[in-house]
Amino acid sequence: MSKKSEKFNLSEWIFTTDHKRIGVMYLIGSIAAFSVAGVMAILIRIEQSSLGPTLAADAMTAGQQYNQWLYFHGAAMILAFLIPGLTGFAANYFLPLMIGAADVAFPRINALSVWLFWAGIIVALLGFVIPDAPDIMWTGYPPYSILTGGNTAFYVFTVHLLGFASILGAVNFLVTVIYMRAPGMGWNQLNMFVWSTVTAFVIQLVFVPVLAAAVTMLLFDKYLGTHFFDPSAGGDVLLYQNLFWFYSHPAVYVILLPALGILYEVVATFSKNRIFNYKAAVYGGMWGVVLISGEVWVHHLYVSGMPDWIRIGQMISTLLISLPVGLLAISLFGTLYKGAITFELPMKYAVSCLFLFLIGGLTGIPLAITALDLHLSDTSFIHAHFHYIMGIFATFSVFAAVYYWFPKMTGKMYNDKWGTIGFWLNFIGVNVTFMPLFKIGVDGMPRRYWNYEMFPQFETWHYIAMLGALLVASGMIITILNWIMSAMNGKKSVDNPWKSKSLEWTHTVNPPGPGNFLKDVKVADDWTPYDYGK
């Protein structure tokens, strides 16, 4: 609390090794990426809202700029907002507090991670202002990404920088959880968020190198004359797609798991309840997802001419994801059962996430089935599906996290009125935007199309989707302004406003100073972060 008198010192922030400041830097960087990528989303929706070129004079310009927006929106949202927002910001700030540690195991490596992340953000943003902006979608499939006049190198370097940040972060946090838990804290006493981060980082550690290899080969093919992906010289186009999705499907669980972890914390706190079937959710649910995550990538290649046996095999493994995810859903929904539920702002986001999770999760089932995907692949249906589960669900969970831990991070309370207005605009807006896309997707609206002159019947739906996007835009502006204003001028908060039982609330002040805890933390054998019943 003595921080108030200290003056803001930029170099102290830049050279800090304090996990909390690093977490805040991750948050600022990822929200910056989110805001720019959000502007792209609005441009995309406006372009599609009418049949012909809406924001350009001719078709060629419309196509080029639209593709650049799409590239930036996808790459920045996934690589620079969702993954760093969840595993960078949330894990950095709260994981050491939840396990009663003074910092992470390797604080300087942690600082290196956040610098690499910022470098990645800067390269990604530069990619948009250079004249040959990348236009290869976040997937970067060759041969197009090799033949294009766009600057594929910026894409590759963005992935490299953020990938290194992720790998270093993964090592750091796994070691931290294994060795730095407070005395007495057994594996079954960890917060759900801690477990979700552990499992997410295991996935990162195993799979990120594969993506790094794939994009490096892309770089060599384009700039150094190799032929990894060039069939005319003995290479193979599909090799890239396989490597890319071998990482990028597990990557959606790197987003899903910590997002669920946050929801568990919020739902348990605002239901004042224990986690329903904790062990099944952790060992069956989270670890089950880790186990299956590496055997399902071919569902992104159902229409890529892969051999039939693997398309069927991975249809089954993809469907089996419903087992661990089902256990997580039962546990998360079950935590409401016999709770004492209150609906503060973080809980509003969490409850909306339960419904986004249902819609996004269930619409994944038809996409898992190979035969159905032969029509649905690359239509707006798929685009709506992954926006529900990976985009909005995960984004709302980040928002739930920011509001939930806002008093912890700033020592102040957010403005509830503006926060609530922002919430409703966001929640209504996303549904107005993406529900129509399910409908026109099933009817055959292809993805990544600014032009749909052959399907004039879809124009009204696109127009509605644009209106929804404008609602979301206003909601987001209000939300982010609310954070900034409340962080500066908010009312002082009490130390544990939600009466949570978790260590980050019970054992330290708001915001925690260097070293986190005033005295060493010890927990009893029967302590859990959720024992409200006592």
Partner 1 sequence: MKKMLTALTWIGLIMSSAIAMASDSAGVIKDPAESWKHLWMEVMIDLYIMGGIFGALAIYWLIKYRAKSPDAVGKGPKLTRSQRWAWAIVPCVLFLADDLYLGASGWSAWNVYRNVPENAMEVKVTGRMWNWEFEYEDGTTSSYDVDGDEGEKGDGLVVPVGTPVVLRMTSEDVVHSFGITEYRVKEDLMPGRITYIWFYPKKEAESWVTCTEFCGANHSRMYAPIKAVPAAKYQEWIAKRAKEEAEG
- Contacts to partner 1 from residues 369-388, by CB under 8 A: 369-372, 374-375, 377-379
Q: Does 494 bind partner 1 (CB under 8 A)?
A: no
Tell me the C-alpha distance between 241 and 239, whole Å: 6
Q: Residues with Cβ < 8 Å from 363, sequence gap 6 or more?
A: 381, 384, 385, 388, 389, 438
Tell me the C-alpha distance between 332 and 326, whole Å: 10
CA distances from 226 to 149, 151, 218, 230, 395 (A): 18, 17, 9, 8, 39
CA end-to-end distance (rounded Å), the chain:
30
x/- mask, partner 1, residues 52-91, rule CB under 8 A, reads -------xx--xx--x------------------------
Among 3, 108, 279, 522, binds partner 1 (CB under 8 A): 279
Q: Which stretch binds partner 1 (CB under 8 A): 156-164, 219-227, 330-338, 465-473?
A: 330-338
Closest CB 487 distance from partner 1, rounded Å: 26
Q: Does 112 bind partner 1 (CB under 8 A)?
A: no
Closest CB 264 distance from partner 1, rounded Å: 13
Q: Which stretch binds partner 1 (CB under 8 A): 31-39, 269-277, 403-411, 416-424?
A: 269-277
Q: Does 174 bind partner 1 (CB under 8 A)?
A: no
Q: Does 238 bind partner 1 (CB under 8 A)?
A: yes
Site for partner 1, residues 113 to 132, rule: CB under 8 A: none
Among 13, 115, 187, 333, binds partner 1 (CB under 8 A): 333
x/- mask, partner 1, residues 503-532, rule CB under 8 A, reads -----------------------------x
Tell me the C-alpha distance between 38 and 59, whole Å: 24
Q: Does 148 bind partner 1 (CB under 8 A)?
A: yes
The answer to whether 522 touches 182, Cβ cutoff 8 Å, is yes
Q: Does 271 bind partner 1 (CB under 8 A)?
A: yes
Tell me whether residue 269 or residue 516 sits nearer to partner 1 (CB atom).
Answer: 269
Tell me whether residue 256 or residue 359 sits nearer to partner 1 (CB atom).
Answer: 359
Closest CA to 51 of 468, 384, 458, 447: 458
Q: Does 497 bind partner 1 (CB under 8 A)?
A: no
Backbone angles phi, psi at 95, to 5 degrees: -60, -50
x/- mask, partner 1, residues 428-467, rule CB under 8 A, reads ---------------xx-xxxxxxx-xx------------
Give the position of tokens 């702002």.
Answer: 345
CA distances from 351 to 40, 185, 347, 433 (A): 28, 30, 6, 19
Q: Does 46 bind partner 1 (CB under 8 A)?
A: no
